[in-house]
Amino acid sequence: MGILDDVVQGIGKEVSRVQARGQEMMQSFNLQNQIRELEKKKTSKLLEIGRIITDKYVKGEDISEDVLKDKANEVAGYESEMQILQAELDSLKVDTEVPTSKKSEKGAGFNASPGYECPNCHAPAARDKAFCPSCGESMKKATSSAEDDVVDVEPNGN
């Protein structure tokens, strides 16, 4: 019965993982739809602003600046909401092709230092991190070994 229990437990874990991924995908889909709806509202509002400005300057209609400010604030509100939703969507996106180390980097806010790489695996690395995000080797190890190679020369020649 032990093997059967292990199989059932393994299947249960896999089902849970698939369910979690399905929920993640559904949430991602919903966020994308919300962003699209806000984009439509923003576009509609911008068209309305364009029509008001055309009426004001071409047709000579008396349109107050307050009306334009209110419309512009609505556009800014849509943009703000879209940025919030996009940030939430970005935090949800988990690409199955991306290695676990890269997922961890994204979650930890990892940013590689330009021109700096791990001396062990040559992956992009950050100067302020103690360990390589890809291979896990100590980044200090590389600098200490380079320092060991330097020979101290005293000014008197000894």
Query: Coil, strand, or helix at residue 40?
Result: helix
123 and 81, same domain (yes or no): no
DSSP letter at 43?
H
Which amino acid makes up residue 76?
A: A
Q: Assess whether 26 and 70 both reside in one domain.
A: yes
Residue 146 has pLDDT above 50, yes or no: no
The Cα–Cα gap between 97 and 106 comes to 14
- Last residue of a domain, which of 76, 94, 112? 94
Beta bridge partners of 117: 124
Could you tell me which residue, 136 or 145, shows the higher pLDDT?
136
Q: Which domain does 69 fall in, by range?
A: 1-94
Q: Would you tell me how many other CB atoms lie within 10 Å of the CB of residue 131?
A: 14
Nearest to 94 by CA among 36, 21, 32, 31: 21
Least-confidence region, from 37-41, 127-131, 153-157:
153-157
Q: Is the predicted pLDDT of residue 5 greater than 70, yes or no? A: yes
Q: Provide the token pair at 158.
A: 């000894």
Same domain? For 68 and 22 the reply is yes
Tell me the three state secondary structure of residue 117: strand
Do residues 76 and 111 both lie within one domain? Answer: no
Residue 157 lies in a domain: no
What is the tally of structural domains in the chain? 2
Average pLDDT, rounded, for the chain: 79
